[in-house]
A and B are shown apart, each in its own frame.
Chain A
Amino acid sequence: MAERLLDVKDLTTHFFTDDGVVRAVDGISFHIDKGETLGVVGESGCGKTVTALSIMRLIPQPPGRIVRGRIDYSGRDLLELPPKEMRKIRGKEISMIFQEPMTSLNPVFTVGEQIAEALRLHEGLGRRDALDRAIEMLRLVHIPNAERRVREYPHQLSGGMRQRVMIAMALSCSPKLLIADEPTTALDVTIQAQILELLNELKARFGMAVMLITHDMGVIAETAQRVIVMYAAQVVEEASVQELFKEPLHPYTQGLLRSIPRIDLAATRKQRLQTIPGTVPTLRGEARPGCRFAPRCEFARPAHFDNDPALKEVRPGHKVACFLY
């Protein structure tokens, strides 16, 4: 039996803006086991990133606030920790990499100084030792000429290199969980392949768990063991990666999988892409009852607009929030 690393229960994060409340994450529950890769998939604005920032306690406050829920991590609720205790976890036990490495690196410090900062803070290393470890980390993420690169500034590096530096920084204190928020979205496909390969290699080496947030079903299929699908601030399906792709249960997941052009089927068939009609609902304003996917769902019946479907386990390890099951 796999050991739980992180347990998120009923997490609810709202943003209180001048134009009303934005229910960015609305009562989601999921867990991450030690050493596994959990894929989090969904379209823009579905709450993937806010979920990650909530776990890290990095929600800008105000306007944001975690209004409900708990996040259990090694016997403690992260949401109850005082800021000082949380700082010991953030960057050491749980660290995060972002989509756009240029905006998350500090342009006025060398990459070496930025990696060394975490090491001095969390591991209590001296300046010299921290810099040596920084060079070691750059080698680990396969940056050539690490001794020279460690003295360079972010703008001197290419996009792929910057993402490697981010990974080096995130892994410098050997975290137990790495949250990767669209780590390859800004990169070209050949560079994406390099970075995904690197993440897999390092994951195996350090035995850490990864929460991989992406909108790309291909990236999910090739890296995750388990997947949660998010739609309009809620989890609509959870399954092992094999099950999810073989037998998606939620009409949204089914639609999503059918709407992707498939390069691997190129030679065998060519047909019109299937689409999901309409657009994602707004998360602003009063919460309306009913399944949030119902207005776009071909199986929707009048009753589905009145009540919220609960996320329930319909097969071992396979959960879905849909009235059809």
Chain B
Amino acid sequence: MAEALLRVRHLKKYFPIRGGLFSREVARVHAVDDVSFDIQPGETLGLVGESGCGKSTTGRTILRLVEPTAGEVWFEDRNVTTLDKRALRQIRKEMQIIFQDPYASLNPRMTVRSIIGEALVIHKLARNRREREERVVQLLETVGLAAEHLRRYPHEFSGGQRQRIGIARALAVSPKLIVADEPVSALDVSIQAQIINLLEELQQKFGLTYLFIAHDLSVVEHISTRVAVMYLGKIVEIAPAKELYTNPKHPYTEALLSAVPIPDPTMKRRRILLEGDVPSPIRPPSGCRFHTRCPIRVPSCSENDQVLKEVAPGHWVACQVRS
């Protein structure tokens, strides 16, 4: 087995809620609660779950855009969680992020030239202005834009084009890993397909590895090699994409998949409707976190913490009933 590019071990992120006279910590949001996984070089790991499940926080904690509460993140042979500021800046050259909202993640006062060129300046990746300019144009062309866009500002572009700029910015430092946090959720379907295809082409061309975070299960299925499903801060199932979608084991994964509307009116499916809403991550349920909504729960589910167990090669599930 190849050496993993990224190894995440027992990652936790609790956000304190402060209140009272001295702003003491009165409670904690358990955003990410003991998450572990590996990403192999060249693969795409999809991370899916509903809003508030901790998938975005997981992505940001890996890059240390958010400081982890506990746990380790290993990028190749370096422990990202213990790096000092200087070393962290170095490693960010190898790990980049693309955000959901291309409107909010591009500085409105900067031209495309400076947005993409900034990273080249910071990491001293170009010897002079001309070389930098050439590289920026090359990056623009790589993502399907052109040199004529250099002097324009973000507001002059459509949503899809802005996402292309965000991708070009991430590519500027030639990273190995890109965390793509809901990169197509804000886009219309016809544009969404263009961006998904672009990400796939770039992966082929540059041998990129992706952590692809999204709530849209069809998009994740399309792009991912393996998929991890998160619920209330924990991974409940992880498996090769095809296996997960054809043979889901966790009752939450099943419900999630059955809830996706299928664009084919002749297809009639059995839908598993979950009761109620996702519980609060401030006071997550005891035992298995899904037990309050689970259609197949048994009494002991509210007592026993669930750990991931391998039920088939590479297919891990955290459910005592199904494993």
Interface residues of A (CB under 8 A from B): 43-44, 158, 160-161, 188-194, 196-197, 215-222, 241-242, 245-246, 255-257, 259-264, 266-267, 270, 272-277, 279-280
Contacts and interface: CB of A to CB of B under 8 A. Distances in A.
A32 to B, nearest CB: 18
27 contacts: A43-B189, A44-B188, A188-B278, A189-B215, A189-B259, A190-B255, A193-B271, A194-B273, A196-B261, A197-B273, A218-B263, A221-B262, A221-B265, A242-B266, A245-B266, A262-B218, A262-B262, A262-B263, A263-B245, A263-B257, A266-B221, A266-B242, A267-B242, A272-B200, A273-B193, A274-B193, A279-B161
Given A190-B274, A264-B262, A273 B197 contact: yes
Contact of A266 (B192, B246, B259): B246
Interface string B242-278: 1001100000000111111111111100010110011
B312 to A, nearest CB: 15
B218 A245 contact: no
Given A193-B273, A267-B242, A279-B158, A43 B260 contact: no
Contact of B265 (A193, A197, A222, A261): A222
B222 interface: yes
B196 interface: yes
B68 interface: no
Nearest to B246: A267
Nearest to B188: A43
Q: Interface size bucket, B side?
A: 35 or more
Contacts of B190: 43, 255-256, 259, 275-276
A188 B263 contact: no
B119 interface: no
A263 B158 contact: no
A51 to B, nearest CB: 18
A197 B258 CA distance: 13
3 closest A-B pairs by beta carbon, nearest first, are A218-B261, A261-B222, A259-B193
A241 B245 contact: no
A158 B188 contact: no
Contacts of A257: 263
Contacts of B196: 261, 273
B194 interface: yes
Contacts of A241: 265
B50 A245 contact: no
Given A218-B262, A220-B263, 18 more contacts: A43-B189, A44-B188, A188-B278, A189-B256, A191-B50, A192-B261, A196-B261, A216-B261, A221-B263, A221-B265, A245-B264, A259-B189, A262-B218, A263-B217, A264-B262, A267-B246, A273-B196, A280-B188
Given A193-B271, A256-B190, A279-B158, A160 B265 contact: no
B261 A158 contact: no
A257 B190 CA distance: 9
A193 B272 CA distance: 9
Nearest to A296: B190
B160 A189 contact: no
Contact of B160 (A192, A218, A274, A279): A279
Contacts of B51: 188
Nearest to A257: B263
